[in-house]
């Protein structure tokens, strides 16, 4: 651990490649304002997230690569924007051909090929191939096209968000208790416009009750007849995930101390619906059940940090904490009822092209190398982790990997890399794009909506559209956006192919930006 492996040359600078243990903790629908160290007016405390900030680096301008679950997870693991794939809008269900194609380099395969033991514990949501079809399954057969095929040695978790069903505790390719029963969303009594996945369950999909009223809104009928295991209960997810993650790391701790590091990807299901804090945290926040749930989430993060302390692994373990997108639209009701802004000072939330949709908490702690209490105020994206880890271990990515991954390894170590970050692309669930370059963000035209330009250095809340005042900046960013789409990559290197021909959401590729009147 932390030993000199070989010298890697970056220009004229030589540095030692490193192999710390790596843990990526990924929350679900957590807004920028849901970490108390980032939100002075927060109605709850997150002491363990605050500890990561205090003992590591805070990225104040950190972003997910999309504004909903599936595409953000693809970007995080592959270093490539999901809109280059067949998924142009929205998310997957539980059952789907995996969005990550076999053979594509992932965080897991990169680190596995550089001597790491690799595991994923938690929510996948990138598609799996289940045996048979709904109502006609053979659970003695293995699940295919899943984490074990994408670079992970070990998998324990659930296939997708709970509202998509096929809910069981999967270990490897099998569920020890298969999802042979059926259920529907049940109304929640503690959270805003929410549901539960809990017994009683039914023997057939027809017997499952029709989705009931919840929070004054009719639930999506697709939630009827969700496949579920007899022993599955939604409220157990966070505890089970954390416990299994610690069990796996316990089995790797001795090897890690002897020079074989581990990589753990731990995607939690919180604070995504259902908002289901355990009794220990009910009523503990001043932001309702959601605040209680965030406090529980923080507590589980603390369990991971305590394990590292107890095992004397903390100094040489790099911990990344971030979220897959901004807060669910209940953020506005929470602001009204509890005066808690899950999106912080930023505009809108989950699904949106504006900052509240994709600017998320982003912390990295690595005591042996990263200065405690440091901050980085330049833009970084979750897609950048692949190139950053590759530079860290001294690996070279092939041309068809990490096409949108720009290493910030030198920044992490507190060394100036001497070049500006490449332009970053944002993408909403509706298919709308934006491009970020330095202080400027251009929101691309989409449907009847015109392009918009914001100077985030003076207007982080995106209140003043400057497109009319700065047509030269609009034109420059417009051309960069087109180039990045057509080149199949944001980074330098040979042109790559997107997985599909041009699609309607990028119709502006063939045109010029319309002048604002």
* Per-residue pLDDT at 8: 37
Residue 346 pLDDT exceeds 50: yes
Short-list 77, 114, 70, CA closest to 92:
70
Residue 14 pLDDT exceeds 50: no
Banded model confidence at residue 517, pLDDT cuts 50, 70, 90: low
- pLDDT over 90 for what percent of the chain? 90
Residue 417 pLDDT exceeds 70: yes
Residue 187 pLDDT exceeds 80: yes
For 86, the token pair is 């067949």
140's CB contacts (< 8 A; 6+ apart) are 131
Per-residue burial over 259-271, b = 16 or more CB atoms within 10 Å of its CB, e = otherwise: eebbbbbbbbbbb
pLDDT in tens, 239-265: 999 999 999 999 999 999 999 999 999
Greatest Cα pair distance in the chain? 69
Terminal-to-terminal C-alpha distance of the chain: 60
* Per-residue pLDDT at 420: 84
Banded model confidence at residue 419, pLDDT cuts 50, 70, 90: confident
pTM: 0.95
Banded model confidence at residue 222, pLDDT cuts 50, 70, 90: low
Q: What is the DSSP letter of 149?
A: G
* Per-residue pLDDT at 4: 35
In the predicted model, what is the mean pLDDT of residues 201-210? 92
- Other CB atoms within a 10 A radius of the CB of residue 345 amount to 15
Short-list 274, 267, 252, 258, CA closest to 193:
274
Residue 221 pLDDT exceeds 80: no
Containing 21, the helix (H) or strand (E) segment is strand 21-28
Which CATH entry fits the domain spanning 425-510: 2.60.120.380, 3.40.50.80, 3.30.1120.10, 3.90.1170.50? 3.30.1120.10
pLDDT in tens, 25-61: 999 999 999 999 999 999 999 999 999 999 999 999 9
Residue 320 pLDDT exceeds 90: yes
Strands 117-123 and 262-271: parallel
- pLDDT over 70 for what percent of the chain? 94
Residue 11 pLDDT exceeds 80: no
Could you tell me if 85 and 338 are in contact, meaning their C-beta atoms sit under 8 angstroms apart? no
User: CA torsion 197→288→362→356, rounded to 10°?
Assistant: 90
Residue 275 and residue 10: Cα distance in Å, rounded?
A: 46
More confident call, 278 vs 212: 278
List phi, psi (to 5°) of 59.
-100, 100
* Per-residue pLDDT at 220: 56
Instruction: Write down the residue that tokens 């963000």 correspond to.
Output: 441
Domain segments of the chain as ranges: 30-179+232-412, 181-228, 425-510
* Per-residue pLDDT at 215: 40
Could you give the C-alpha distances from 152 to 106, 148, 332, 380, in angstroms and in order? 9, 5, 38, 25
* Per-residue pLDDT at 510: 87
* Per-residue pLDDT at 5: 37
Residue 285 and residue 400: Cα distance in Å, rounded?
A: 46
* Per-residue pLDDT at 209: 85
Banded model confidence at residue 216, pLDDT cuts 50, 70, 90: very low
* Per-residue pLDDT at 7: 34
| CATH code, residues 30-179+232-412 | 3.40.720.10
Containing 323, the helix (H) or strand (E) segment is strand 317-323
More confident call, 435 vs 211: 435
* Per-residue pLDDT at 476: 98
pLDDT in tens, 349-384: 999 999 999 999 999 999 999 999 999 999 999 999
More confident call, 466 vs 9: 466
Long-range contacts of 453-462 (CB under 8 A, 24+ apart): 453/477, 456/355, 460/345, 460/346, 460/355, 461/345, 461/346, 461/347, 461/355, 462/346, 462/347, 462/354, 462/355
Banded model confidence at residue 214, pLDDT cuts 50, 70, 90: very low
Q: What is the DSSP letter of 27?
A: E
* Average pLDDT of the chain to the nearest whole number: 94
Residue 458 and residue 179: Cα distance in Å, rounded?
A: 52
Banded model confidence at residue 19, pLDDT cuts 50, 70, 90: very high
pLDDT in tens, 143-181: 999 999 999 999 999 999 999 999 999 999 999 999 999
More confident call, 211 vs 234: 234
Banded model confidence at residue 495, pLDDT cuts 50, 70, 90: very high
Q: Where are the alpha helices (DSSP H) in 236-383?
A: 237-257, 288-310, 331-338, 355-358
Residue 94 pLDDT exceeds 50: yes
Residue 514 pLDDT exceeds 80: no
* Per-residue pLDDT at 1: 42
In the predicted model, what is the mean pLDDT of residues 418-431? 93
* Per-residue pLDDT at 9: 37
């Amino acid at each position: 651990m932390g030993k000199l492996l070989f010298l890697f040359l970056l220009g004229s600078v030589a540095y030692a490649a490193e192999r710390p243990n790596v843990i990526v903790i990924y929350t679900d629908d957590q807004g920028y304002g849901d970490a108390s160290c980032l939100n002075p007016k927060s109605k709850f405390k997150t002491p363990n997230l605050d500890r990561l900030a205090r003992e590591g680096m805070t990225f104040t301008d950190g972003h997910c690569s999309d504004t909903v679950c599936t595409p953000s997870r693809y970007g995080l693991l592959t270093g490539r924007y999901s809109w280059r794939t067949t998924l142009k809008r929205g998310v997957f269900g539980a059952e789907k051909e995996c969005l990550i194609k076999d053979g594509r380099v992932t965080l897991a395969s990169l680190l596995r090929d550089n001597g790491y033991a690799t595991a994923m514990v938690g929510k996948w949501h990138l598609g799996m191939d289940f045996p048979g079809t709904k109502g006609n399954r053979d659970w003695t057969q293995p699940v295919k096209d899943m984490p074990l095929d994408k670079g992970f040695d070990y998998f324990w978790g659930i296939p997708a968000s709970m509202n998509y069903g096929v809910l069981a505790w999967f270990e490897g390719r099998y569920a020890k208790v298969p999802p042979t029963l059926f259920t529907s969303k049940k109304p929640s009594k503690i959270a805003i416009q929410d549901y539960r996945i809990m017994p009683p369950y039914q023997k057939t999909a027809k017997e499952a009750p029709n989705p009931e009223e919840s929070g004054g809104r009719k639930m999506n009928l697709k939630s009827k007849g969700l496949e579920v295991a007899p022993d599955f209960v939604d409220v157990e997810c966070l505890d089970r995930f954390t416990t299994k993650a610690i069990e796996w790391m316990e089995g790797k701790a001795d090897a890690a101390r002897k020079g074989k590091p581990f990589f753990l990807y731990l995607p939690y299901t919180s604070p995504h619906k259902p908002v289901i804090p355990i009794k220990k945290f009910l009523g503990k926040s001043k932001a309702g059940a959601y605040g209680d749930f965030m406090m529980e989430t923080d507590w589980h993060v603390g369990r991971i940090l305590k394990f590292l302390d107890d095992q004397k692994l903390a100094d040489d373990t790099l911990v990344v904490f971030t979220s897959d997108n901004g807060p669910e639209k209940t953020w506005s009701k929470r602001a009204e009822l509890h005066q808690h802004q899950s999106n912080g000072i930023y505009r809108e939330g989950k699904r949106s092209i504006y900052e509240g949709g994709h600017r998320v908490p982003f912390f990295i702690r690595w005591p042996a190398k990263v200065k405690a209490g440091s901050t980085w105020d330049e833009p970084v994206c979750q897609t950048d982790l692949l190139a950053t880890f590759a530079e860290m271990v001294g690996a070279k990515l092939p041309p068809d990997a990490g096409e949108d991954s720009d290493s910030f390894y030198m920044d992490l170590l507190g060394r100036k890399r001497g070049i500006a970050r490449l332009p970053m692309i944002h993408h909403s669930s509706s298919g709308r794009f934006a491009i970020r370059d330095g202080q400027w963000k251009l929101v691309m035209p989409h449907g009847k909506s015109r392009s918009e330009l914001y100077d985030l250095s003076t207007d982080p809340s995106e209140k003043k559209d400057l497109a009319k005042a700065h047509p030269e900046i609009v034109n420059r960013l417009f051309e960069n956006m087109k180039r990045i789409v057509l080149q199949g990559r944001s980074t330098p290197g040979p042109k790559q192919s997107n997985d599909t021909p041009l699609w309607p959401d990028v119709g502006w590729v063939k045109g010029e930006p319309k002048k604002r009147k």
